[in-house]
Amino acid sequence: MRFWRKSSTLRIMTSIAALHVTGQTINIMTLGGLALSVGMLVDDATVEVENIHRNHAMGKPLAVSILDGAHQIAMPALVGTLSICIVFAPVAMLKGVSKFLFTPLALAVIFAMLTSYLLSRTLVATMAINLLPEDPNEQGIGGRVGAYLERFDRGFDRFKTKYKTGLTTALEHRGLVLACVGAVILSSSLLLMAVGQDFFPYVDAGQIKFHVRVPAGTRLEETERTMARVENIVRSVVPPKELQLITDHIGLPVYWALLFYQTDTIGPQDADLQIELSKKHHPSLRYIKEIRRVVNEQLPGVEIYSQAADITSQVLNFGLSAPIDVQFQGRDAYSSYKLAVELLPKIRTIPGIVDLRIPETFDYPTLKVNINRSKALQLGISENLAAQNLLNSLASSVVVAPNNWLDWDTGVNYSVAVQTPQHVINSIDEVLKTPINPNRVNSNASSVGQTQFVSNIASVQHTVTPLGIAHMNVLPVTDLNCGVEGRDLGGVAADVQSAIDQLKNVPPGTTIKIRGQSAAMREAFGGMGRGLILAMVLVYLLMATNYQSWLDPLLIMIALPGAFAGVVWILVLWHTTLNVQSLMGAIMSVGVATTNGNLLITFANEYMEKEGVDPLTAAIEAGTTRLRPVLMTALAMILGMLPMSLALGAGGGENAPLGRAVIGGLIAATFMTLLVIPIVYSLVGGTRVSKLQRDAQMRRTLAQTEAAKEAQM
């Protein structure tokens, strides 16, 4: 325990120092990376100490045992460490927010692994020479703990004997075992359809955000009354002890506030409702569903939908209103709107779709003032002058003629504006009574110079106009937004794309594409997939260089399909989707599986060359000898990931898929390493010439050459 405790502490502290040098901070991602590497930190020391004990038990002096033990695993451990570092190459293939999220995690793992290898080769050996007894039979710990360790060793020896018997039996039925394992792995690929895909795991931050929209054209005061009723519904749904704070933002915010938060508000009929729950609360999704249902029942005509409330979800949405944003872009905004209206009922039938809406308003009630130009000119009034006078009366002169007054005593600058009081303009007739002072355009007109009312030169028409039309690359854009609930994001996005593909009569020049989390998820998955393939190729080339063989690395990488199958199984059993976090866990499983397989194949090659046995015997001996370090590595990683997988504490669900994927991948990879790799090795081990065999052949040839030269002399 002293080996592991002291060396692991130094490794973690060194990793933190390296993170500081590279400009990283202690956050949930770097802590997740350090937690991910704790098992491997224990593994390096475990393999080193176990190999020292094995050599010591063979009757070698302690110093020789330490040197031989360190020498035997130096190269396999280096290859394993580099393999784990290489498998995090997919992070370099990520783009956007995914790259910034997972680069700190990858750096934390890489720094910890490199430090672990260095300390396990130096500090552990130094501590061993000072702490281990010279006599291998001497018990280092007495009392109850020593008795417990003795019983544990006897139990493990019995387990090792049973494992050897079981491995021998499996080797006698190699074809049947390999066929069953292959069938399980192939059938596991079918589970990918049941796993589902998400960009990032859902985290309940205890924050809820709703956007409320009453019928277009509603005055601000009426919207406020409606929001008061919505607040009462919230208070009736959420228990008082779980309700921390409610804030409303009704109507258009000041322009600079739009820099700090996303909103769909385009007029006085819109409002944002933000709810903060206490630390101990029921699931937020439960309250979101209930509030949405009650509002729809009690307030018909009021549209309410949830939006991203916490900073993580807002970043993942890339500033958009919803995780799925179907964007229609074309020259004619009305044509795009008609397509969105046509697509809306089709998307509504897709399972998992919630909060479906078109955020843009195309029917905002408007009063259109039609000016009779010829009559206005006869009265000395231009259309521009009439518009300015009407605008000054309704919206104040700040809009067209801003003016300021400075108070020299206080240094405060005040806006000076002229506006008709709003309570005076309470009908269309009052609007038509707005006075207009004419310009002298036609001096022959008898009425020049007289103030005219709007009603003398214009008429008012009721109409509707679009409001809040966004643009991208100059062209107008219409959005169809929807959320996802009770289903994975990837499946819903695929169904939405199928509905889009069924649209007909799309105007030329109009493009339809899906933006938001779903698009970022596909891009991130594609980058990680390409990076994972690259990492596997690099790991294979690294091991091929080490073994000087093309076959031995393939034997080691046989465990990888089983590791991926284990990841899929654990995600299905734990009801977890396939997301970027779980993919990172799968990548870590690949590194650990490669490391354990590397140790087993290296020992089998050395044993076969040293003892002159056949591959079958070497496979049995390698599996039996490396059983303890392989199991301890897997158990250390699994126990280290268990708290993370249980999503304990606030925000614990963010890294939970990573821990679950590591646990499932390691369980399956350990099975593959201890059973499948020895079986395959026994089949092909005698068909190739290993590096050790070539070295031995070269030494024998050199010795024969030297002997022949001496005989000739």
Q: Is 280 helix (H, G, I), strand (E, B) or coil?
A: coil
The residue that leads in pLDDT, 86 or 673, is: 673
Residue 123's Cβ-count burial label (10 Å; 0-12, 13-18, 19+) is: middle
Across the chain, how many H-helices and E-strands are there? 25, 15
Question: Does some domain include residue 574?
Answer: yes
| 672 part of a folded domain | yes
Average of per-residue pLDDT across 613-636: 86
Q: Give me the mean pLDDT over the 152-164 stretch.
A: 88
Residue 625 lies in a domain: yes
Quote the pLDDT of residue 66.
Answer: 85
Instruction: Tell whether 589 is covered by a domain.
Output: yes
Please give the structure tokens belonging to residue 136: 């291998």
Please give the structure tokens belonging to residue 107: 């750096």
Q: How far apart (Å, rounded) are the C-alpha atoms in residues 535 and 541?
A: 10
C-alpha–C-alpha distance, residues 453 and 451, integer Å: 7
Nearest-angstrom CA–CA distance, 687 and 699: 21
Same domain, 695 and 552: yes
The one-letter amino acid at 691: K
pLDDT band of residue 276 (cuts 50, 70, 90) is very high
Residue predicted with more confidence, 379 or 236: 236
Dihedral of the CA atoms 535, 538, 540, 543 (nearest 10)?
A: -120
**Same domain for 116 and 38:** yes
Shortest CA distance to 481 belongs to which of 504, 510, 515, 505? 515
| Residue 248 pLDDT greater than 60, yes or no | yes
Q: Do the domain assignments include residue 372? A: yes
What's the mean pLDDT in 668-685?
88
Mean per-residue pLDDT over the chain, rounded: 84
Residues 565 and 690 both lie in one domain: yes
Q: Other C-beta atoms within 10 Å of 535: how many? A: 24
For residue 445, what pLDDT is reported?
46
Residues 619 and 678 in one domain: yes
Residue 540 lies in a domain: no
Verify that 46 and 151 share a domain, yes or no.
Answer: no
Domain boundary among 91, 118, 138: 138
540: pLDDT confidence band, cut at 50, 70 and 90? confident
Q: What is the CATH number of the domain that holds 343?
A: 3.30.70.1430
Q: 290 pLDDT exceeds 80?
A: yes
Torsion of CA 355, 360, 365, 370, to 10 degrees: -170
* Of the residues 138, 170, 185, the one at which a domain ends: 138
Per-residue model confidence as pLDDT tens digits over 569-602: 999 999 888 988 888 888 888 888 888 888 888 8
**CATH at 40:** 1.20.1640.10
pLDDT at 442 over 50: no
CA atoms within 13 A on the CB side of 392: 18
- Where residue 426 sits, what CATH number does that domain have? 3.30.2090.10
CB atoms within 10 A of CB 126: 11
SS3 49: helix
Is the model's pLDDT at 690 over the cut of 80?
no
Asked if the structure places residue 475 within a domain, the reply is: no
The model's pLDDT over 65-93, given as tens digits with 9 standing for 90+, comes to 888 888 877 887 888 788 888 877 777 67
400 pLDDT exceeds 50?
yes
At residue 596, the pLDDT reads: 82
Q: Are residues 684 and 574 in the same domain?
A: yes
Q: How far apart are CA 124 and CA 282, in angstroms?
A: 48
Query: 100: domain range?
Result: 1-138
Residue 496 and residue 340 in contact, taking contact as beta carbons nearer than 8 Å: no
Answer yes or no: do 17 and 131 share one domain. Answer: yes
Residues 554 and 694 in one domain: yes
Predicted local confidence at residue 26, as pLDDT: 84
Predicted TM-score (pTM) of the model is 0.79
Please give the pLDDT value at position 351.
93
d(CA 11, CA 378): 90
Query: pLDDT band at 530, cuts 50/70/90?
Result: confident
Q: Are residues 350 and 490 in the same domain?
A: yes
Tokens 């067209």 — which residue? 400
Could you give the number of structural domains in the chain?
A: 4
* One domain, residues 276 and 351: yes
Domain final residue pick, 467, 501, 532: 467
130 vs 155: which has the higher pLDDT? 155
Mind listing the pLDDT tens digit for each residue in 315-350?
778 778 899 999 999 988 899 999 999 999 999 999
Q: Which of 233, 227, 238, 247 is nearest to 278 (CA)?
A: 238
Q: How confident is the model at residue 228 (pLDDT cuts 50, 70, 90)?
A: very high
The pLDDT of 37-64, averaged and rounded, is 77
Residue carrying the six token digits 């100490």: 49
Q: Same domain, yes or no, for 221 and 173?
A: no
| Together in a domain, 198 and 230 | no
Biggest alpha carbon–alpha carbon distance for the chain: 140
Within a domain: 713: no
| More confident: 84 or 296 | 296
